[in-house]
Amino acid sequence: MELHILLLFMIFAAVVAVEVEDLLSSVIAVGAVGLGLSLAFLILKAPDLAITQLVVEILCLIILIRATINKDLPLIRDGRWFFNTFSTLLFIACLLIFAYFAFQELPVFGAPIMKVATQYIQQGLEKTGAANIVAAIILDFRGYDTLGEATILFTAVMGVLAIIRKVGRINAK
């Protein structure tokens, strides 16, 4: 029940974020979506994800407000509303058609069918000694995935630092 209220709130906030004119209000609406997602994780009993989502959302909000918003951002207002609306409706229709067939194959919500996960839960404590099962899975059983995630973050930081470093922009002038 709470989950459905949260989902409605998140959808409403997302629509507001797209439709509102002011950029600052739009960013705050995006933050509201993130906060709703964090609460949803908390209701679904995933506190690790809730903490991570909350702090990342705060960081994104600060970066968006403080470091990127300028007052004179160009707004795209061309007259091709018919083409835009038509393509949007087409993509929504495609998504709904494929989702109708794909969602029939999904298991019931909250009923895990994975054999591997049961193994992790049963043997996690004795094999790793970590009381937090999430830490045991992401850093021991699935450490390779975490290494990939770390590589993504490293690439992102390198990319940002390489694109907006000082030397390049002075030479461009």
Partner 1 sequence: MRNNKEVGMTVIVKTITRLTVGLILLYGIYIVLHGHLSPGGGFAGGVIIALSFIHLMLAFGREVALKKLSQAAASILESLGGIIFLSIALIGLVGGYFFLNFFLHKGKPFDLFSAGIIPLCNIAISLKVGAGLFAIFAALILFKGQGEE
Applying CB under 8 A, the residues found at the interface with partner 1 are 47-48, 50-52, 55-56, 58-59, 62-63, 66-68, 125, 127-132, 134-136, 138-140, 143-144, 146-147, 150, 153-154, 156-157, 160-161, 164-166, 169
Nearer CB in complex with partner 1: 4/173: 173
Rg of the chain on CA atoms, in Å = 22
| Cα-based distances in Å from 100 to 67, 91, 126, 144 | 41, 14, 42, 34
Residue indicated by tokens 């004179």: 72
d(CA 160, CA 143): 26
Listed residue (83, 18, 30, 17) closest to 59, CA to CA:
30
Considering beta carbons, is residue 106 or 153 the nearer one to partner 1?
153
CB of 69 to partner 1, least distance (A): 9
Q: Quick one: which H or E segment has residue 35?
A: helix 23-43
Q: Which is nearer to partner 1, 78 or 126 (CB)?
A: 126
DSSP state of 132: -
Q: Which is nearer to partner 1, 102 or 156 (CB)?
A: 156
The distance of closest approach from Cβ of residue 28 to partner 1 in the complex, given in angstroms and rounded to an integer, is 17
In 3D, which of 156, 124, 151, 118 has the Cα closest to residue 139? Answer: 124
Nearer to partner 1, 19 or 126 (CB): 126
Nearest to partner 1 of 55, 90 (CB atom): 55
The DSSP-derived string for 80-124 is -HHHHHHHHHHHHHHHHHHHHHHGGGSPPTT----HHHHHHHHHH
